Amino acid sequence: MKKISIHTNLQQVTLEELPTDYQKLIELAKTQTKSAYAPYSKFFVGAAVLLNDGQVIGGNNQENAAYPSGLCAERVALFYANSQHPSTPIKALAIAAYTNNSFVKKPIAPCGSCLQVLVECELRFNQNIEIILYGEQEIYHIKKAGELLPFSFTLK
């Protein structure tokens, strides 16, 4: 039997260590939590996408009583970006979550469906998408979405 290990590479950073455009991306993700529609879970998630041309797009989770008909903040932002700017690659995505009257202390990661969409976007444009996960006590910076989903579905 052969043992195989899989590792995820990420950096724990401070807000000040991130480039200014990534700091602004986090702030937009935090702002997006305020307009999320989460009457069932009370877990408000905001996402912000930075396109290669500098445009920034926000998104937030949208729940529905007919679960799982809702959509995560990440996919709302990614699908909007890809539908309105189909030839512009995505450079980065920031995610923030708010619940119980405060932002989460530790960062949350995208769900498997969102990760698959992120990996598909990386493949579509042949470019890594940097992920910034915000928490009040910690911020994680991941250099490519594929780091978080090593067994993604691909055409290759």
CATH no. for residue 56?
Answer: 3.40.140.10
Q: Which residues are catalytic?
A: 74
In a domain, residue 152? The reply is: no
Q: What is the pLDDT of residues 95-133, one digit of tens each?
A: 999 999 999 999 999 999 999 999 999 999 999 999 999
Give yes or no for a contact between 121 and 145, defined as CB atoms under 8 angstroms apart: yes
What pLDDT, on the 0 to 100 scale, is given for residue 42?
Answer: 98
Residue-level pLDDT at 58: 98
Q: Phi then psi for 18, rounded to 5 degrees?
A: -85, 150
Domain membership of residue 58 as a residue range: 11-147
| Interatomic CA distance for residues 129 and 27, integer angstroms | 18
Q: pLDDT at position 22, please?
A: 98
User: Buried b vs exposed e over 62-80: b needs ≥16 C-beta within 10 Å?
Assistant: bbeeeeeebbbbbbbbbee
The 8-class DSSP code of residue 37 comes to: B
Those residues of the chain that have pLDDT short of 70 are 156
Q: How far is CA 122 from CA 66, 70, 115, 132, in A?
A: 31, 24, 11, 15
Task: Read off the pTM.
Answer: 0.95
Residue 59 counted as domain residue: yes
Q: Which residues pair with 97 in a beta bridge?
A: 45
Look at residue 3 and tell me if it is in a domain.
no
Of 128, 141, 119, nearest in space to 89 by CA: 128
Q: What is the pLDDT of residue 60?
A: 98
Which residues, other chains included, contact 109 with Cβ-Cβ below 8 Å and sequence gap of 6+?
95, 115, 133, 148
5 occurs within a structural domain: no
Is 122 a member of any domain? Answer: yes
Tally of helices (H runs) and strands (E runs) in the chain: 3, 7
pLDDT score, position 129: 98
Q: What total number of domains does the chain contain? A: 1
Report pLDDT for 156: 67
pLDDT value at residue 31: 98
